[in-house]
A and B are shown apart, each in its own frame.
Chain A
């Protein structure tokens, strides 16, 4: 009979800290909200700020999600992603201006219908543009990051200039649909109606995206492609086609986000996408390149923090996002939920 092994296998439970670690990013959002509650003197202004922070975060998430997936799947970094936001906003707003009869009517149903139409047209237009962008600009430079950055940047310049050719150089002011103007009062806090709509739309899109990615076959292929593209191709799936689909869907989402953002700001310019890109990059980096969940958490964090800090210390709001990024990168250099291994 052999002797018992000298070391006794340890069956102790992992410590609390170890069990929490994977969930930490998810806990960050409520943590930031709680900190806000402590620091902000009145409860009602906290509620207002939280709702607007969530609305902003949701819209940023809509715009950023496509980019992070495109990167995760094909290692393509698209610096021109912002242009889909601008194009989406311009197309959507043009549609809304054409449907002035519907948006000016005080009926909520008609208003939402007009908004829906604008969003669909904008998403279709940017989806088509995304397809063209992928074919013409991105396809020849697969695998070369440096060229991708340069070429997509060039694409951004060209499309931005084309927007100016088509719509003129002036910014366009747009009024929100009649029933979405103003605010409702809840527990003493004024909540803008449009922001509530933005939260609902963003949440619905996030859940839909999660459903597609987690519960459908195509989602399985996409997730597997992000993990290990070569293996998925070896199994006989044409990842190229999947990738084009994701690129088009990501562009369409960016366009959709552009319409929402344009209505949120009530003014659109050809450069708005380029300006949004900065927030999007921050979100994508802190979320972890390639991760949809990380992107969602990152977007909410950025939105909430920006609103809280702007209320507490207006001057610091400008650098709060950079501070957040630095803090998170010091904590996890690959982002909160890294998916793609560092190459």
Chain B
């Protein structure tokens, strides 16, 4: 059963199994284990980013394609939901139309970019996606009539998913283990379930024959071509799937935040974050996405405070407080990133699997 759910791709390391199980339990019961607005918010962010990073890993880790347009696809899903909720009747129909429309658009654009660049050489793809993604980001901030520009959009999601909606009053008195059973709780479980199902789907994809061919192409595309696989088709297909899943992750994020703006859904910083998560967690292992995203989001929320404390502790020493200040955490993650590309290309997961 479990083997089937995980598509035969077991963690293959005792420590890794324990960590993954712990993360799963923490996320599954986050509203009860860590009550409080901020921690539930962190948990939802982790869910969304696990999915986003896993979809990126399908492209980078399994397909060997570097894309810088992943936030663009993410943003398409998020803006899809936002626009559908703004212009359509309030209800679940709008969410489905928005998410579906965003995913289809993302896959279509990924297909077009792939058509242009993957045909020539994979390295073009990295540069062209960077150019296209930045053009789209500028376009979104300019077309303020449609997208709200820099301010972004706030919109109404179905009432059942908002804190104002209460349920189960007569059954368990509106509280479950001391947590108010309101729409926010439901929204969290929509995000969690959506992320879990899509993650398992991605796991299924990478462990299918399709995934094996992708890995073969990553290792040696010339040889894969010689064996008779259409390299370009496989790469393009991987890009499209990855883009569609990224858009769905964006849709989940939009449902959770009830707001989209360039900073939350399109900025280049998110792209850098995704890269860091994939590489630190481990490229080419779906579980790397789980570890990387969890580590990173927790660090983003809590490491900064720690660094702030460290910075004030070394006050008086020249430069050191500046290097340790809370805003400079990206510096240290950047160094960690470079080191992990050099020394642990398979990231935390690869290390754990080697060590058993």
Q: Which residues of A does B touch, CB under 8 Å?
A: 77, 79, 137, 140-141, 145-147, 149-151, 153-155, 157-158, 161-162, 164-165, 169, 274-275, 277-278, 281-282, 284-285, 315, 318-319, 321-322, 325-326, 329-330, 333-334, 342-343
Contacts and interface: CB of A to CB of B under 8 A. Distances in A.
Interface stretch (B127-135, B157-165, B223-231): B127-135
A164 B66 contact: no
B137 to A, nearest CB: 10
B142 interface: yes
A154 B337 contact: yes
Nearest to A342: B121
Contacts of B117: 329
B338 A154 contact: yes
Given A155-B338, A329-B117, A330-B116, 7 more contacts: A146-B64, A158-B331, A285-B128, A315-B142, A318-B135, A333-B119, A333-B120
Contact of B334 (A140, A146, A157, A342): A157
A151 B127 contact: no
A146 B221 CA distance: 13
Interface of B: 60, 64, 66, 116-117, 119-124, 126-128, 130-132, 134-135, 138-139, 142, 268, 272, 275, 279, 319, 322-323, 327-328, 330-331, 333-335, 337-338, 341-342, 345
23 contacts: A150-B275, A150-B279, A151-B342, A155-B334, A157-B272, A161-B334, A164-B327, A165-B331, A274-B268, A277-B130, A278-B131, A278-B135, A281-B128, A281-B130, A285-B124, A318-B135, A318-B139, A325-B128, A329-B116, A329-B117, A333-B120, A334-B120, A343-B121
A315 B143 CA distance: 9
Contacts of B337: 150, 154, 157
Given A145-B122, A151-B341, A318-B135, A162 B130 contact: no
B58 to A, nearest CB: 15
Contacts of B60: 146
Contacts of A281: 127-128, 130-131
Contacts of A319: 135, 139
A158 B319 contact: no
B127 A145 contact: no
* Chain A facing B: main interface SS: helix
Given A322-B135, A329-B116, A164 B124 contact: no
Given A158-B331, A342-B121, A147 B341 contact: yes
Contact of B275 (A145, A153, A162): A153
A141 B339 CA distance: 12
B124 to A, nearest CB: 6
Contacts of A79: 126
A342 B119 CA distance: 11
Contacts of B132: 322
A137 B339 CA distance: 10
B151 to A, nearest CB: 19
A318 B141 CA distance: 11
A278 B130 contact: yes
Nearest to A158: B334
Contacts of A315: 142
Contact of A157 (B120, B127, B330): B330
Contacts of B333: 157
Given A315-B142, A322-B131, A334-B120, A162 B331 contact: yes
B121 A154 contact: no
B127 A284 contact: yes
B338 A151 contact: yes
A157 B333 CA distance: 9
Contact of B116 (A145, A146, A153, A326): A326
Contacts of B142: 315, 318
A318 B268 contact: no
Contacts of A326: 116
A101 B157 CA distance: 60
Given A274-B268, A278-B134, A329-B116, A165 B323 contact: yes
Leading 10 A-B pairs by shortest Cβ distance? A161-B331, A157-B334, A158-B334, A154-B338, A281-B127, A154-B337, A278-B134, A149-B66, A165-B322, A333-B120
A335 to B, nearest CB: 9
Nearest to B342: A140
Contacts of B275: 150, 153
Most chain B beta carbons < 10 A, residue from A77, A153, A285, A334: A153
A115 to B, nearest CB: 30
A158 B338 contact: yes
Given A140-B342, A154-B334, A165 B319 contact: yes
A319 B138 CA distance: 9
B335 A158 contact: yes
B116 A282 contact: no
B55 to A, nearest CB: 18
